[in-house]
Amino acid sequence: MEVSALIPVFNGGRFLRLAIDSALAQTGVTIEVIVVDDGSTDDTPAILASYGRRLVVVRQPNRGLAAARNAGLARVRGKVVGFLDADDTWEPEKSREQLAYLEAHAECGLVSCDVFLMNAAGVRGAPLLGDRVRGLPAGRCLEELFLGNFVPLPGAMVRRATLDSVGGFDETVPGVEDYDLWLRIAAVTGIAVLPMPLASYRRWPGQMSRNRVRQTHSEARVLSRALARHPELRRALGGRARRRLARLFDEAGYRELQEAAPARAAAQFFDALRADPGWGSPWRHLLATALVAGGLWSPPPPPGDGA
C-alpha cells in the first residue's frame, strides 16, 4: 500500500461523494481511502455503504475533526498519508506527483501543493497561493511557517514515519490542528510545496472553519507553544514573532467589534498589546471600541464570501 487518503466527515453528505470519488480516481498509485464518520445524522452512512469494500469506514460518536483524523490515522496502512476534507477534492494526478517528489527527496517529510479555491456550487477560481508559491521555501522552514501557514490541508501529503515521530492532531486547538501539526513536522524534517494546484478547497457558508474568533484563539495558542518549544524561534524572529501574535488578537478583536461585542473586543486588543506593546493598531481599535460602546460608531459588517 503506497498512499492512504484520510477523509473525516460529519453530516457532510452534500459534498462527500465528490471527495471520495476524487480520492478513488488517483492515478499511478495504489491507494486506500479511509473515511471516518464522526457521528453523522444525515445521509452520510448511506453514501458510505454504497461504496461497499472500496472504502475503509470508521464510525465514532461526534468528537470533532481532529479526533476523527486521529481515528483514521490509527487505521492507515500506506507509507504516505494525504488529508482530504469531505467538501474538498483532489486532482487525479495529485498522489502520483507528490509520491514521486517524496521518493526523490529523502530529506522531505511533507510535500504540499497549491489548491484551487472553489465555491459551494463547485465553481473553481484562482489558486490559493498563486504566484507566491514559487517564493516559498523548501527544506527546513520552521521560521517561515511560523510567520504564516502556507500548507493548505487538502494539499498536504506526509510520510507515515514522520507522523509516527511527531504524533497526530492536537484535539485541543480546533480549527488550526493542521497548522499545529505542520509546525511540529517543520521542526524535524523538510517541507516542500509543489507549484501546481493539485486539489480544490471549497469555501462555503456552512464551513466549520468560518468561526474565525475561535480559530484565532487556537492559532495564538499554537504559536505560543511553538515559541516555548523552540526558543531559537523567538531569537531569530524577534519583533516579527511578537507582531505575528499581536495581529491574531487584533483581528479577533475587530471581528468581535463587528459582532457588536465591545467588551470581548477590548479583551482581544489588550492581548494584542501584551504581545506587541509598541504596535499602533490595537490602540486605535481600543478607541474604536469606546466609540462603539458609547453608540457613537458602528464598524462595517464582515464581508460575505460570495459562496
Start-end ranges of CATH 1.25.40 in the chain? 209-293
Total-model pTM: 0.92
Cβ pair 101, 26 in contact under 8 A? no
- What is the per-residue pLDDT for 204? 72
Each residue of 180-202: b (16+ CB within 10 Å) or e? Answer: bbbbbbbeebbbbbbeebbbbbb
Average pLDDT over residues 257-276: 93
- What is the per-residue pLDDT for 207? 54
Band of residue 216 on the pLDDT scale cut at 50, 70, 90: confident
Tell me the CATH number for domain 3-204: 3.90.550.10
Nearest CA to 252 out of 281, 227, 224, 217 is that of 217
- What is the per-residue pLDDT for 306? 39
Band of residue 66 on the pLDDT scale cut at 50, 70, 90: very high
Question: Strands 108-118 and 157-159: what pairing?
Answer: antiparallel
- What is the per-residue pLDDT for 307? 36
Q: What share of the chain in percent tops pLDDT 90?
A: 87
Decide if pLDDT at 87 tops 70.
Answer: yes
- What is the per-residue pLDDT for 31? 97
Average pLDDT over residues 143-156: 97
The residues, ordered by sequence, that sit 6+ positions from 18 with a Cβ below 8 Å of its Cβ are 89, 122
Joined grid coordinates for residue 112 = 504540499
Band of residue 217 on the pLDDT scale cut at 50, 70, 90: confident
- What is the per-residue pLDDT for 206? 57
Average pLDDT over residues 119-130: 95
What is the rounded distance in angstroms from the CA atom of residue 156 to the CA atom of residue 154?
A: 6
Residue 25 three-state SS? coil
Start-end ranges of CATH 3.90.550.10 in the chain? 3-204
Cβ pair 256, 300 in contact under 8 A? no
pLDDT tens per residue across span 104-120: 999 999 999 999 999 99
Q: What is the mean pLDDT of the chain?
A: 94
Average pLDDT over residues 62-69: 97
Average pLDDT over residues 131-160: 95
Average pLDDT over residues 192-211: 81
- What is the per-residue pLDDT for 67? 98
Decide if pLDDT at 209 tops 60.
Answer: no
Q: How is residue 87 annotated by DSSP?
A: T
Tell me the CATH number for domain 209-293: 1.25.40
